[in-house]
Structure 1
Amino acid sequence: MSKIRITKQFTFETGHALYGYDGKCKNVHGHSYKLSVTVIGTPIKEENHVKLGMVIDFGDLKKIVKEEIVDVFDHASVFNKNTPHKELALELEKQGHNIILVDYQPTSEQMLIDFANKINLRLPHSISLHSLKLQETDTSYAEWYAADNPRD
C-alpha cells in the first residue's frame, strides 16, 4: 500500500513576548504566522466509502487544526505563565484581550511542540502527523518532524 502525505496550510495572527530574551523580542509584538500541517496515511480503498481515495478529507484536517490551533491562537497574545509578563497579561485580560498563558517560552519551536501534541490527540488512528512548519516571518520558520520525535 502506498503512503501519501497530505498538507494543509493555515494563517493566524498572534502576539507574544519572550521574557529574559536579549533582543527586541523581549518586547510585546506579533507575527502573521503560517502553519503547514502534513499528515501521512494510505488512501481509503473501500469502494462504498464516501471518502474513497482520500488519506483524510482536507475539510476534516482543517476542522481539527482550526479548533485546536487557529481559533485559539488567532488574535491572541501568548505569554509564559511563569514570567513577570503574567501581570501584564492578566491586566490585558481584564480589559477584554484574548490572552493565552502557557507553560513554555512562546517561541516558534515551543509552539510547534504544543501544536503537535494537540493535533496528535485528534487525528484518526489510521493517520499520523508527519510534520509541522511554523513560519514566523518571510525568512524564518521552525519545523517539527515525527521521525525526530518518537512517541513514548
Structure 2
Amino acid sequence: MSKIRLTKEFRFEMAHALWNYDGLCKNIHGHSYILQVTVIGTPITDVDNVKLGMVMDFGDLKEIVNREIVQKLDHAIVLSNRVPEAQLRQLEQMTERYFILDYQPTCENMLIDFAQRLQHNLPPYVELFSLKLNETANSFAEWYADDNR
C-alpha cells in the first residue's frame, strides 16, 4: 500500500530574544509563527477500524501538537537559560507565561525541540516526516526526518 503524507498547520504568537546576539533580535520581540507538521504512514485498511482509510486522524494530530507545543508557547516569552531569570521576574505581570530553555530560541533550535517532542507522542504506526516553522512572512526553517537519521 502507498505511503501518504498528512500536513496540518498551526499558528501561535510568541516572543523571544537571542542572548548575546549581535543584531536587533537581542531585544525581546514577537512573531506570528506558522508551524506545518507533516507525518507519513499507510492508510488503515482494517474495515472494523473507525479510522479506516486514514493515516492518522487530523484531530488526533491537532491534539498532540496543541498539547506539546502551541498551548505551551502561545503568548509566551521564550529565552535561553543564559538570561538572568531574576531580572525577568522583576517584570511581574508581564511575564506570567515564560519559558527558560537550555538552548538559544532560534527558529532552527525550536524545530529540533519540536521534532523531539512530537516523535515521542505520535502513534507507533505514524512517523514524523517534516516540520516547517515560519518566523516571519518570508523567513522559515525546515526539519526533515531523512536528514536526521
TM range (shorter): over 0.9
Q: Deviations over 1:57-111 (max 9, x none)?
A: 0000000000000000000000101234x3333334x435201010000000000
TM-score for the superposition, normalised by structure 1? 0.94
Alignment of 1:1-152 (within 5 A): 1-84=1-84, 86-92=85-91, 94-95=92-93, 97-150=96-149
The CA deviation at 1:24 is: 0.3
CA distance in 1, matches of 2:140, 2:132: 7
Among all aligned residue pairs of Structure 1 and Structure 2, give the percentage whose two residues are the same amino acid: 58
- Unpaired runs of 5+ residues, structure 2, are none
Do the aligned partners of 1:79 and 1:89 also contact (CA within 8 Å) in 2?
Answer: no
CA distance in 2, matches of 1:113, 1:37: 13
The CA RMSD over aligned residues, in Å, is 1.0
CA distance in 1, matches of 2:125, 2:51: 14
CA distance in 2, matches of 1:145, 1:46: 29
Moved over 3 A (4+): none
- Unpaired runs of 5+ residues, structure 1, are none
The CA deviation at 1:13 is: 0.2
Do the aligned partners of 1:40 and 1:55 also contact (CA within 8 Å) in 2?
Answer: yes
